[in-house]
Structure 1
């Protein structure tokens, strides 16, 4: 990714590789056009003179997007946190079914597959730090149960949201929201796809927990503000309940340890993550 200045203002230039990306970028560009037309503040792909989402140069694919003014949202600030929740809800209000010629290109793996994969990577990493296994076992059991629950056929939120054509960001981290002094815009849709919309909300909650630690009312205010703009159906609420039992903060630390191998940092970070997850679980109970 590169920032550039043009006669039309500041832009973001991104590089992609692989023939398969052409069809995905076309589908994603159509989806983002629908979102823009619905009045949601995002950074879309700009079109070439041939009306293409991307251009080819030296064997790579490139996209150009406007550089939105503002700064990254701080999930430590109440106003900014709630503005991000509102922006996410506004994104999910838009149906992209009729606008995207091949919506199947935006399909993503099931939630049970996604969280099973992260659990397996975390479990493998835990075998490299056996002295900390006692900090892992109770959370491993919770994660296993959540993965099993997510695979239940009765949880139909994914298929319902896919049929409706809900475009989910799938990485609603603070650096992917731009604070504009009263509202938040969304950027970087590289991982976007038709997913369960409450999964986006859950990921945002986890980012808020990660930067703030557990605070009374933190989760409730985010869910309430989202629900005010885009009401959560009973099925999505059931999925959220299951996801909230998945100890993402602990799994994340083991997952990252598996990549870095830094045992010294792991102990401190793991104890902190475990404390936040225990507080979340106590609230759920």
Structure 2
């Protein structure tokens, strides 16, 4: 970190009436701040418009009053009175308590149950926190989102057929493109037969506050309980979407071991029941070839290489047997 950026961070934190003794950049836009008296905070850039950030803040303050453990500001404390700070570039930053604990491991079924319990409590509290007109809802977007992502995959496959990529990549996509599209079509078919239409027509009844990107990196386990952190993707949706995100992010790097998903669902069901439609809606997103979609989109995390495409396709193939186990689980519960 350069001297200038250290000064920049110190000025940002000062807007919250907090002094900096030690600062450490965790990753882009996230800093660990230690005060002279040893208190620790997280300074995080929120890539949202001001109106959206104000909604996130109001909503999370309501949710906190209902009991779930969240890493968010406490307006009763001096450092929590100001909801955000603005950088010289006009970027929005929030200061939240740094939760010292450990990230849950998908290899620990106890940890995964704890995540399921924490998510269910968040949904339960979040549903009662949604007052008045429902803002920032994505309940009605499932058809359009799947269609847009499907079209993106189709365009990439069409380009590969024209040998528009390197020869190894083009040949791999030519060989396996129809299989990838089959998975995308299955997801859309699952959505049509899931009961989604009735759910989206009753948004007030079925909508919950969704974290939006739950997974092992967004829970912190402490002796007091399991905290949820990082709320930049907060929105209103169906609870099945949040469950899908937690299952996807917990299982994709562990060869789609269903015992991980079972532990998450078992934990969730300790707090609130799931019905047949919930399971069908989870199945929709799990079947869509998201991992392949992300590799085709190319990023630092998912580079566009033949080996990464092979890895993604192997992952998509494991989802078929995984969904069969999910269906059996749903039938039992």
Distance of 1:91 and 1:179 partners within structure 2: 15
Q: Does 1:178 align with 2:220?
A: yes
Structure-to-structure mapping, 1:1-285, within 5 angstroms: 1-6=30-35, 7=37, 9-16=39-46, 21-47=49-75, 51-58=81-88, 59-96=90-127, 103-104=134-135, 106-108=136-138, 110-126=141-157, 127=160, 128=165, 129-133=169-173, 134-150=175-191, 154-155=195-196, 156-163=198-205, 166-181=208-223, 183-256=225-298, 262-283=304-325, 284=327
What are structure 2's unaligned runs of at least 5 residues? 1-29, 329-333
Distance of 1:282 and 1:10 partners within structure 2: 45
Give CA-to-partner distance per residue, 1:156-214, whole Å, 9 cap, x none: 33454555651100101211111225742110000010011111101111122212113
Distance of 2:222 and 2:301 partners within structure 1: 35
Point out which structure has higher relative CO (alpha carbons under 8 A, 6+ apart). 1
In 1, are the aligned partners of 2:190 and 2:283 still within 8 Å (CA)?
Answer: no
In 2, are the aligned partners of 1:143 and 1:246 still within 8 Å (CA)?
Answer: yes
In 2, are the aligned partners of 1:125 and 1:258 still within 8 Å (CA)?
Answer: no
Cα distance change on mapping 1:172 and 1:67 into 2, 3 Å: same
- Tell me by how many angstroms 1:217 deviates: 3.6
Number of aligned positions between the proteins: 282
Distance of 1:132 and 1:55 partners within structure 2: 48
What do you get for the CA RMSD once the two structures are aligned? 3.2
Distance of 2:109 and 2:129 partners within structure 1: 36
Distance of 2:225 and 2:126 partners within structure 1: 22
With 156-165 and 133-142 compared, the bigger mean Cα shift is at 156-165
In 1, are the aligned partners of 2:207 and 2:239 still within 8 Å (CA)?
Answer: no
In 1, are the aligned partners of 2:46 and 2:232 still within 8 Å (CA)?
Answer: no
TM-score normalised by length of structure 2: 0.72
With 156-165 and 237-246 compared, the bigger mean Cα shift is at 156-165
In 1, are the aligned partners of 2:32 and 2:42 still within 8 Å (CA)?
Answer: yes
Distance of 2:67 and 2:242 partners within structure 1: 20
Distance of 2:280 and 2:271 partners within structure 1: 19
